[in-house]
Structure 1
């Protein structure tokens, strides 16, 4: 099968990359940081072994400053993940580059959901994201990427997650990237665009959309009627993979699709899953993509 995925680099006025293509692994967990931390650290090590040595070069410290990911840096990150006390939570961002967007990134937003700051926020979650260059998929193939996704997912107590070609921009879109992001979203509906922290404040146990690899856990899977109900409602082009007990992975084709009209991509599996998820689709509380109208249109692009 011949697969064409877009390759792009969007630069700011100083020539720095502020938006690029890549592959995103994202997981949302209605669990406190203490229930996530150990598994997250194992997932981070799984990701680290899958990428080239020194692909991650630094991390953002709690004061917002950049520090190198040498042995001391990794120890600091480990402490941030495993030793962050109640009620402060844990925020982690590891990046390939400190001054522009690179292909390799880890983001995590962990919350103690019983802390005073989050009481009454019934839809806040802990969330994690990992990114890779598109070339990783093209070089290693979809089976390898799916196995990596399953290895990451096995460590995390997610309700919803996904893997998708995406517009990579850790920490959210920079101003220089917004116009290009809008154009790319309209041209390639199969690409995801994301902003982990605001989404993690209010997604709860809902779904963000239909993606190439769509992970459904509890309570979302139960609200959708369970695995057997989904088998009856979804087309045979959607493959089912069990992930432990009461969680599944839906594969919407062997390879991900960008959805560009001129490429005649068959997006019918995406539309079928989107229709199934529609009663449980998430709507961003605070628009961050372009504006509220564009964001709603994009989130429901397969309906």
Structure 2
């Protein structure tokens, strides 16, 4: 297990905490949210049972305000996920803190695939953990928990990674000099914005991660489980088939921040990156500076 994870505290104006070191578990599901609502709520409850009591304290109300997450708030969010037969989008955002980024967060964006408001939408779900949770429980525990979170989800793509945990992609408003330094040094550090990614990712991937989940139709485009087994014949790699033509690829005993000051990129990450490269999401057309930066960054492990 890697125990040399860097401690990161990314602050903005007024010293508000915009991002911190931790882990993200993300899933992108190429289904209307009306089809997967019970599985989504089941995963949220699995996460709730796994984290320390009182770790989630606030949620985003219908009018956009942050309000305390009491039992009435839990029921409100359950209805937001489950009571969806009339269609439309659904959003659930649960947080540790009402203002700063905390280690424990849930972000869920339920969408319809034919939504006219997004380019290539999917239903997206993400859970975060502070690094302290990982260091206390270990890599095997986090991997088993990720499998349990994924058990009923018909994902196209998903992953678990050491990450810059941030609320709704708030890392993007930080000092880019500091952020560029972090991303240039730690190639295994994920920066994510699950809401934005879920509106454009379609059936694409977001590159290789410590734990990479592959499902329909992406796994088929990669040649299936047997092709993955042949291409990833490294001693550090394990492949775990899952029901429903799904696969979990594990790239090492524990997550690797891939510190470029300490060593080269592990070969198994590059190998999976080569496989995923043709199916990677990237912004196209008239893109802005941020989108261009993100395109380059996503290809960092895809030679």
TM over 0.5: yes
Give unpaired runs (5+ residues) of structure 1: none
Do residues 292 (structure 1) and 296 (structure 2) align?
no
Correspondence for 2:197 among 196, 199, 202 = 199
Distance 1:2 1:147 in 2: 17
Normalising by structure 2, we get a TM-score of 0.93
Residue 265 of structure 1: how far off its partner (Å): 5.6
Distance 1:279 1:46 in 2: 34
Moved more, 86-95 or 64-73: 86-95
Aligned-residue Cα RMSD (Å) equals 1.8
Residue 3 of structure 1: how far off its partner (Å): 3.0
In structure 2, the residue corresponding to 1:301 is in which secondary structure? helix
In structure 2, the residue corresponding to 1:261 is in which secondary structure? coil
What residue in structure 1 maps to residue 59 of structure 2?
59
Moved more, 10-19 or 148-157: 10-19
Distance 2:279 2:2 in 1: 34
Residue 196 of structure 1: how far off its partner (Å): 1.1
Task: Give runs of aligned pairs for residues 16-35 of structure 1, distance below 5 A.
Answer: 16-35=16-35
Superposed CA deviations along residues 239-292 of structure 1, whole A, max 9, x for unmatched, are 10111131110000001101112222652111110001111111146968x623
What residue in structure 2 maps to residue 187 of structure 1?
185
Distance 1:166 1:2 in 2: 14
| Cα distance change of structure 1 residues 9 and 241 upon mapping to structure 2, 3 Å threshold | same
Give unpaired runs (5+ residues) of structure 2: none
Do residues 251 (structure 1) and 282 (structure 2) align?
no
Distance 1:287 1:201 in 2: 16
Moved more, 230-239 or 37-46: 230-239
Task: Give runs of aligned pairs for residues 221-240 of structure 1, distance below 5 A.
Answer: 221-236=219-234, 237-240=236-239
Moved more, 90-99 or 235-244: 235-244
Normalising by structure 1, we get a TM-score of 0.93
What residue in structure 2 maps to residue 80 of structure 1?
80
Residue 16 of structure 1: how far off its partner (Å): 1.8
Distance 2:287 2:294 in 1: 7
- The alignment covers a number of residue pairs equal to 299
Do residues 175 (structure 1) and 173 (structure 2) align?
yes
| Cα distance change of structure 1 residues 183 and 86 upon mapping to structure 2, 3 Å threshold | farther
Do residues 153 (structure 1) and 150 (structure 2) align?
yes
Distance 2:196 2:164 in 1: 17
**Is the Cα–Cα contact under 8 Å of residues 19 and 177 in structure 1 kept in the other structure?**
no
**Is the Cα–Cα contact under 8 Å of residues 150 and 243 in structure 1 kept in the other structure?**
no
Distance 2:291 2:116 in 1: 30
| Cα distance change of structure 1 residues 59 and 227 upon mapping to structure 2, 3 Å threshold | same
Displaced runs of 4 or more, over 6 A: none
